[in-house]
Structure 1
Amino acid sequence: MRQPPVKPNQPTPPFNAPAARRLRAALGMGPEHVAYSMRSSYGLPYVTPDLVIAWERGGTHPSSPELTALAGVLWCSPGELIGRPRTLREHRISRGLAPEDVARGVGLELAAYQRMEESDTWRGNERQSAALADVLALDLPDFVAVTGREAKLADLLHSAVTTRWQAYVRPVGRTVPLDRGVLEAVLQELHREYQEQMVATLSWGGGGQETGDNGREFLDRIIDHFWTAVDRSRPRGY
């Protein structure tokens, strides 16, 4: 059996194995039918029923071309077979777009865009970043993560909840495109939650290590706390 070509440094996209199995069953297809269609219609002669089963069991993940072909066979979009996208490349694949589509949509040379995708480092300017969000239909948390702003946001939020939150409204606003009123409400809420948690822990008489552990746990999840508070403070949509 001829194996698929393997390219170095080419990670496979996250794969939703249960979804693939569910979609195949809904179509009344067996693994052998999927494998045959991928061989005959998509030029992937090495795909066998055993390989399809391995994908569905999570033992291995299909490559990007295999994922696209599998989606075609199962009459679904690639996004329905992909796990939650994390990287620039994974978001593109989940939308069923070619690199050329994204590069053209954001106003970049193809080679420049591909270098960003390969290094998973977005270097576009503000206009190109806004276009990227539109082309890939990114929600705000994904936009912040894909454009490499998440680490900076976490640092700013750490400082905001442990010191004076008012001083961080503008810096956070430069990192996350949110209405100032929303940011003020969110930072005040996070600051209050963190400080109340610390005070409550001390009042229980634990103090010491327990206090430090609770504080670190809150700070470790500060990004999650932030987006939860944002959802409570503004209308849906980006």
Structure 2
Amino acid sequence: MRAVHRPSARTDRPALPPFNAPTARRLRTALGMGPDHVAHTLRASYGLPYVTPALVAAWEHGTAAPSPPELTALAGALWCSPGELVGRPRTLREHRVARGLAPEDVARSVGHELHAYLRMEETGRWRGTERQSAALARLLSLSPADVVTVTGREEGLAELLRSAATTRWQAYVRPVPKVVPLERRLVEGVLHRLHRDYQGRMTATLSWGGGHGDAGEGGREFLDRIVDHFWTAVEGRAGGEAGRSGSAAP
């Protein structure tokens, strides 16, 4: 495979949140364009003479990411806004970059030595205390789901949720709030719903398929996305409680 050549970049160039490669590929396909058409447009209309179909393909496959000027030009070629081509931040570094903060700013604000903080970004393992985690969430405007992800607790949460859905959910009302920054009452209702939804899916699959193999497949699909189901249930329940509080207000 030919190497993709592009101008050398300054090492202090501002980074971007993750590039949304699937969206770029979907938009290009919807316009009936191939990578060669996109590359030609970027060369002819946006002054990027080095862009080749191989570079466009590398962006779409996630093996390379466009620079800020390239992202703006690509958005023009695909008739979309640059924001549509920027993915949701997931890692600690991506959230920091999305907020336009330097590592020194975050380290100082949360009370870490710079070298220790940079190590956390590099390894993806957060070592902060509860107070430091709260400070990080405020500084980077992290949602509860973001906090769990950037602090490396997502897999531990998934294990707890799978057990709650498949066994006695009541036994996990205490452990789950130790992982997620949510009130115990909210967690209790969400765990009950996950357990009910999982058991209901298993029962329905058995009725439709008439075999345990089908039930196992349906259950695996649910458990594979248990964290997504959890946060969807949290949002729905929190929104419902907010609505009830508003209607009860004088």
The alignment's TM-score, normalised by the length of structure 1, stands at 0.73
Distance 1:69 1:112, change over 3 A: farther
1:106–1:128 contact (8 Å) kept in structure 2: yes
Shift of 1:5: 5.8
Distance 1:32 1:96, change over 3 A: farther
Q: Which ranges of structure 1 fall in alignment gaps of 5 or more residues? A: 22-29, 36-47
Count of paired positions: 205
Shift of 1:6: 9.5
Q: Secondary structure at the match of 2:174?
A: helix
Residue 179 of structure 2 is aligned with which of 172, 175, 178? 175
> Structure 2: how far apart are the matches of 1:101 and 1:68?
26
Once the two structures are superposed, residues 77-131 of structure 1 have per-residue CA deviations (whole angstroms, 9 ceiling, x without a partner) of x978631112111111111111111111111111110111111111111111111
**Pairing of 1:155-234 with structure 2 (within 5 A):** 155-234=159-238
Distance 1:210 1:6, change over 3 A: farther
Distance 1:116 1:57, change over 3 A: closer
Distance 1:230 1:34, change over 3 A: same
Once the two structures are superposed, residues 31-54 of structure 1 have per-residue CA deviations (whole angstroms, 9 ceiling, x without a partner) of 78976xxxxxxxxxxxx4434995
1:13–1:61 contact (8 Å) kept in structure 2: no
2:90–2:150 contact (8 Å) kept in structure 1: yes
Distance 1:214 1:118, change over 3 A: same
Partner of 2:130: 126
> Structure 1: how far apart are the matches of 2:147 and 2:44?
39
Partner of 1:88: 92
> Structure 2: how far apart are the matches of 1:137 and 1:221?
25
% same residue: 58
Shift of 1:3: 3.9
Once the two structures are superposed, residues 50-84 of structure 1 have per-residue CA deviations (whole angstroms, 9 ceiling, x without a partner) of 3499579935314xxx449978xx9xxx9786311
> Structure 2: how far apart are the matches of 1:195 and 1:61?
42
Q: Residue 126 of structure 2 aligns to which amino acid in structure 1?
A: W
Once the two structures are superposed, residues 19-39 of structure 1 have per-residue CA deviations (whole angstroms, 9 ceiling, x without a partner) of 9x9xxxxxxxx878976xxxx
Q: Residue 135 of structure 1 aligns to which amino acid in structure 2?
A: L
1:79–1:93 contact (8 Å) kept in structure 2: no
Shift of 1:202: 2.0
Residue 61 of structure 1 is aligned with which of 57, 61, 65? 65
1:50 aligns with 2:50: yes
2:17–2:88 contact (8 Å) kept in structure 1: no
The alignment's TM-score, normalised by the length of structure 2, stands at 0.69
Q: Residue 58 of structure 1 aligns to which amino acid in structure 2?
A: W
Q: Residue 110 of structure 1 aligns to which amino acid in structure 2?
A: L
Q: Which ranges of structure 2 fall in alignment gaps of 5 or more residues? A: 28-41, 76-81, 243-250
> Structure 2: how far apart are the matches of 1:86 and 1:186?
23
